Structure 1
């Protein structure tokens, strides 16, 4: 088990701090899935956040106030996606994007990055009863596929597909009851 742990209380405290600094954060990853489902279904080692690259300075200031100010070297780190941590237990996986003139969002390098509709980050969910903005269900499924599925993806994706009537992606098999995390 990872030493890093992101409780609902920790996630909400970080989101509140980011909001106080004017950061337009959107919850992704496992907490985004659980927000869409309206209940925590497993333990989380981090908080995945989408944020506009233009909000990087206030984002860093908000996270530094919470002690989440160290880069966590991770295979595949990129200038638009990297992990920060507090050295003890809190870890934030940042996904930075830029809004294009047509309203779509650009993620990745200028030449060959990914573009997706802004609606992908317009989901409504809740963490421990508190409303949060998160990935939409359809895009949460897309963002959890396209790479070799991990155990957490095999837990999260079927739950989203069942709740929101989304076809189960190839390679995820028939619906099964998730194992306890």
Structure 2
């Protein structure tokens, strides 16, 4: 298996390509944490993106042009969450959502999905000095909890909590 590494330059190039195709992408995951912090604090194996499901067609076109056009099967993949890669080093973890009539966003299946506030994806930060839309700090902390913490979570969550004065979740206390 190839080692995947998503540099700031690669992430920004993919975001620019998506923007050129009218895709409203919001940075999630580890790159969202670093965007909120305003600097890269660790290496990233992928770029997590929140994208409206209605933008999937132009997303495929944009990523096809960049060679990020292969599905990377992973346990737990669903139609609203799967990984695309280029077979070399670029990997994008997609999180597709739908806007609901009340202004909230829906993620997941009709049977087992969840609605969340649009403000969750209204954060702003910087990747390598370039402004990007990303998860809000509160949402990023929430997305890094609810499962057994990994080393990257133990790195990311305390940094966000300190900078944004968010109480450290119990599971992250020493």
Q: Does TM, normalized by the shorter one, top 0.5?
A: yes
| Alignment TM-score, normalising by the size of structure 1 | 0.94
Q: Residue in 2 aligned with 1:178?
A: none
Q: How many residues align?
A: 174
Cα RMSD over matched residues?
Answer: 1.1
Please show how residues 64-143 of structure 1 align to structure 2 within 5 Å: 64-143=64-143
Query: Which residue in the other structure is 2:26 paired with?
Result: 26
CA distance in 1, matches of 2:173, 2:65: 43
Runs of 5+ consecutive residues of structure 2 not aligned to the other structure: none
The residue number in structure 2 matching 1:39 is 39
- TM-score, normalised via structure 2 length: 0.98
Give 1:68 shift: 0.4
Structure 1 moving runs of 4+ over 4 Å: none
Tell me the alpha carbon deviations over residues 60-84 of structure 1, each in whole angstroms, 9 at most, x when there is no partner: 1111111000000111100000000
Give a deviation string over 1:107-135, Cα, whole Å, max 9, x none. 00012201100000000000000000000
Alignment gaps of 5+ in structure 1: 175-181
Q: Is the Cα–Cα contact under 8 Å of residues 124 and 131 in structure 2 kept in the other structure?
A: yes
Whole-Å Cα distance in 2 between the matches of residues 63 and 145 of structure 1?
30
